Chains A and B, each alone.
Chain A
Amino acid sequence: MTAPADVGLPEPMPRDGGTPALPAPAPLSVPQHLRGHYAGFASRFIAFVFDCVLSIAVFEIVLAAASFASSVLTGTSIHWNRGNLWVVLAFFAWEFLYYAYFWTASGKTPGMQLVGVQVVGRDGSHVGTRRGLVRTLAFPLSFLLLGLGFVGILLGRDHRALHDSIADTAVVYTWDARAARLRFLAREGNGRR
């Protein structure tokens, strides 16, 4: 088993307790220490939306390039619609590769990186190739069950979705809220001087 430190959480701190803080400025009035705590629904949803936009945008660009090349070489262009089975298959393959690569490699898709969350093993260890692949394969199941697979994020004690339960993973915050607060104070102090 990999130590939690390998997951990119070098100095995780407890959410409760710690040193008494100064009155928190409005935009950062969130708990000071979040690293290693289960991520909630909103953070995960925002990360997912960002990933959707990014992956579809990249797919569209590649498809446009392929369509242009095809029209130049063969005289027929490729169109992105449900009727074109090859494009649909390519889209699902691309989505699979996108999530599988990021989850197995680092546990973080670009959207998760932006929001400051990460997929880890249920025990906090590195997600690894096997669990990353299982999670990617199980991910569509949460949609196919009319979205019921995501209810666990809201109602479960560990905020785990169906695909998390299947792959034995969890999603935690990797965001260092304390460093963010220090940056905020630094900017505030400089603005005043």
Chain B
Amino acid sequence: MAQGVAQRVIELVVEVLDVNALIVRIDLNAVLARVELNGLLGRVDLNQVIDRVDLNQVIDRVDLNQVIDRVDLNQVIDRVDMNKLMARVDINEIAGRLDIEALVKNTDLGALLASSSSTIVTEAVDLGRSHAVSMDDTLTRWVSRLRRNHTGRAGPPELLDAQEEP
């Protein structure tokens, strides 16, 4: 019964608690300065933590702008070992999930890419090469037809093998 009462009291306290007011009263920089972030990050299974938290509910209750205003992000970033953090992230997997073509087509990255290459010359060269390759393919098809489905080799095996390596 005592446990039930305690649980009920905790629930009431949590409901009454104004999280924002609480955060205002805490010197977050001082707290962060006392935490060994790298050690902490190394010991925490972030994926498991994230799975168990209803982030939307938490975010709804927190005034993020106020929190961000009070935190010296540069100081936090300075203390994080980025190399160690990046070593734990599978960049290839992230890159594999990106639609690079859509990204290039719809963002300023495309503008950057287009302006960084001397466009008119590059466009003309690309176009010329495309036509040359199309002619190559047409000739190869004709020869293949004349020689009754004779198929050529794609390229030097070592070059092609190297292409298949990750």
- Spell out A's residues near B (CB within 8 Å): 3-5, 7, 9, 11-15, 21-22, 27-31, 33-43, 46, 114-116, 120-125, 154-159, 170, 172-173, 175, 177, 180, 182-190
| Binding stretch for chain A, among B15-23, B43-51, B69-77, B102-110 | B102-110
Say whether B159 contacts A124, CB under 8 Å.
yes
Q: A14-B164, A184-B126, A186-B110 are in contact. List 7 more A-B contacts (CB 8 A).
A: A4-B159, A29-B130, A40-B133, A115-B128, A173-B133, A180-B129, A186-B109
Chain A contacts of B128 at CB under 8 A? 46, 114-115
> What are 11 A-B residue pairs whose CB atoms fall within 8 Å in the complex?
A3-B162, A27-B130, A37-B160, A43-B136, A114-B125, A157-B150, A158-B153, A175-B133, A182-B104, A183-B113, A186-B114
Q: Is B67 an interface residue (CB 8 A)?
A: no
Smallest CB-CB A-B distances: 6 pairs: A40-B136, A36-B159, A42-B135, A124-B156, A186-B110, A124-B159
A158 to B122, CA, bound (A): 29
With A182-B100, A186-B111 known as contacts, the answer to whether A159 contacts B159 (CB < 8 A) is no
A42 to B136, CA, bound (A): 5
| Binding stretch for chain A, among B27-35, B54-62, B78-86, B137-145 | B137-145
A155 to B137, CA, bound (A): 13
Say whether B139 contacts A154, CB under 8 Å.
yes
Interface residues on B, range: 35 or more
Nearest chain B CB to A178 CB, angstrom units: 10
Nearest chain B CB to A125 CB, angstrom units: 7
Say whether B162 contacts A172, CB under 8 Å.
no
Nearest chain B CB to A53 CB, angstrom units: 14
Say whether A187 contacts B155, CB under 8 Å.
no
Say whether B133 contacts A36, CB under 8 Å.
no
Say whether A27 contacts B127, CB under 8 Å.
yes
Q: Is B149 an interface residue (CB 8 A)?
A: no
Chain A contacts of B157 at CB under 8 A? 123-124
Q: Is B117 an interface residue (CB 8 A)?
A: yes
Say whether B132 contacts A42, CB under 8 Å.
yes
Nearest chain A CB to B94 CB, angstrom units: 16
Q: Is B158 an interface residue (CB 8 A)?
A: yes
Say whether B162 contacts A9, CB under 8 Å.
yes
Chain A contacts of B132 at CB under 8 A? 42-43, 46, 115
Say whether B140 contacts A40, CB under 8 Å.
yes
A185 to B109, CA, bound (A): 11
A189 to B165, CA, bound (A): 32
Nearest chain B CB to A83 CB, angstrom units: 38
Chain B contacts of A190 at CB under 8 A? 110-111, 114
Say whether B104 contacts A189, CB under 8 Å.
yes
Contact partner of A159 (CB less than 8 A), chosen from B114, B152, B164, is B152
Q: Is B12 an interface residue (CB 8 A)?
A: no
